[in-house]
Amino acid sequence: MRKILVIGAGGIGSYLISYLNKLDLYEIQVNDDDKVETKNLTYQNFSDEDVGKHKVDCMKRHASVKIASPYPILTPQQLEGFDLVVCCVDNLGTRRMLYNSNVKWLDLRSQGRNAAYVSYEADPSMYDSLLAGKEGSFSCQGESWDGSQEGIHFMHMAIAAMGAQWIQRWFSGDGVNSFAIVNV
């Protein structure tokens, strides 16, 4: 079984984990120190009964993830021992660590009406622009989202599905793109 580390179980990660787990091809470890909040229910793969619980514990129950850690990834050593590391957090510090590591990785991003994926095979000359921006954590719904159901975007689900497809093709040895941007 192939070992995948998924960093982040929010808007993108909660769907990616569910998609991949249906296949029973991967041993998935998920790390996320966040808890489910009511505001997450409109765009993350959680339900009312999950509010207040660690996201990883919910993934363990709902998606049958075997290894769930309610701790953040803080050191490069935590990335080792996996066939693939998938970044599903909007945190530049985590991305910088990942991009500068020697592991095979896939970075899934979404913000409002656009989404992207970047793999370890992308041109390193792009890294400066890909790793630029404000520090902090940002919703995959984008800065203009007012929290209402009317303004919800679904690009996080689209990039999670594209990420699952990329992972399937990558492990199968099929050709995959190292970088893609999707706008609607």
Residue 140: what pLDDT?
A: 64
Residue 136: what pLDDT?
A: 60
Sorted by where each starts, the structural domains of the chain and their CATH numbers stand as 2-183 (3.40.50.720)
Residue 141: what pLDDT?
A: 62
Residue 23: what pLDDT?
A: 87
Q: What does pLDDT average to in each consecutive run of 10 residues of the chain (184 residues)?
A: 95 95 92 94 93 95 88 94 95 92 95 88 88 66 67 85 96 90 78
Question: DSSP string spanning the chain?
Answer: -EEEEEE--STTHHHHHHHHHTTT-EEEEEE---B--GGGGGTSS--GGGTTSBHHHHHHHHS--SEEE-S---SGGGGTT-SEEEE-S--HHHHHHHHTSSS-EEEEEEETTEEEEEETTS-GGGHHHHT-S-SS---TT-TT--S-STT---HHHHHHHHHHHHHHHHHHT----SEEEEE-
